[in-house]
Amino acid sequence: MASGFFAILDDITALMDDVAVTTKLAARKTAGILGDDLAVNAEKATGFLASRELPVLWAITKGSFINKLIIVPVALVLNAIFPVAITVILLLGGLYLAYEGVEKIIEYLFHRGKTGHEVVEDVRQDGPAAETAKVKSAITTDFILSIEIVIIALGSVAEENLTTQIFTVAAVALLATVGVYGIVALIVRMDDTGYRLIKYSGNKGFLSAIGSLLVKSLPVIIRILAVVGTLALILVSGGIFVHNIEYLHHVLPAVPSTVKEIVFGLVAGLLAVAVLKGAKKALSLFR
């Protein structure tokens, strides 16, 4: 009886060792997409009142956990019974990311100044409804990026047994959520931490200098993240197309992969924006 118990413990220890090794490998392969995930979600989690930053971030984090709870089992089942579906889902997700990234670029390049009733309308929209809309947008984007993270993690352990696949993918999904949103929380609270350091030190000395640096750095970091987040959307979407469409994978072999991914992401995003705007105009004609 005792020997049987220790045999079970030995099996569990061996499984945990395997999971630790495969999780490390999967985390290394998803490092790039995790960086993109951080940039995108940090940009989406900023721009709220200080009192609403943590509640909003917690709402997005809960949505991210729910996303993972949906994606992980579905990905494991589809990988076992219908692997082609995973590729289709990835491509649709890539199209959405490309659309969102290009739409941001178009809005920035062709944004016109607003006056009068347009400004009033924007101010009225800056309330609970706008906050809810931004949270939903962040959770939707997280869903797409989470699919990519889970699929890459699953692909890295495709040769392992089902138990190892389940534990590895679950571990990567958990680490991705806790790690990404933990760092985002630190970023969005930089200014409040800085103000407290300045107040605590009486606006004198080393602590005050650190506090001032944190306060001044936050707007710069937010602007950088806005740019990086947009580029990340384009790059991730282009990477999805290049790695999952055989023809695109072999197009222009002499061109660096990053350049190809950006180009394909931009082209896909422009097409998506054009199609959506055309569809909206067509629908307006029938109303």
What is the share, in percent, of the chain residues with pLDDT greater than 70?
77
DSSP string spanning 36-65? HHHHHHHHHT-SS-HHHHHHHHHHHHHHHH
143: its two tokens: 């869903």
Range from 1-5, 102-106, 268-272 that averages highest in pLDDT: 268-272
Using a 10 angstrom Cβ sphere, with 0-12 exposed, 13-18 middle and 19 or more buried, the burial of residue 265 is buried
The predicted-structure confidence for 107-147, as pLDDT tens digits, reads as follows 888 865 554 444 334 434 456 777 788 888 888 888 887 88
User: What average pLDDT score do residues 22-39 get?
Assistant: 64
Q: Answer whether residue 63 shows pLDDT above 80.
A: yes
pLDDT at 18: 59
Query: What are the residue boundaries of the structural domains of the chain, listed by start?
Result: 1-111+124-286
What is the model's pTM?
0.67
> Could you give the CA distance from residue 87 to residue 98 in angstroms, rounded to a whole number?
16
pLDDT band for position 12 (cuts 50, 70, 90): low
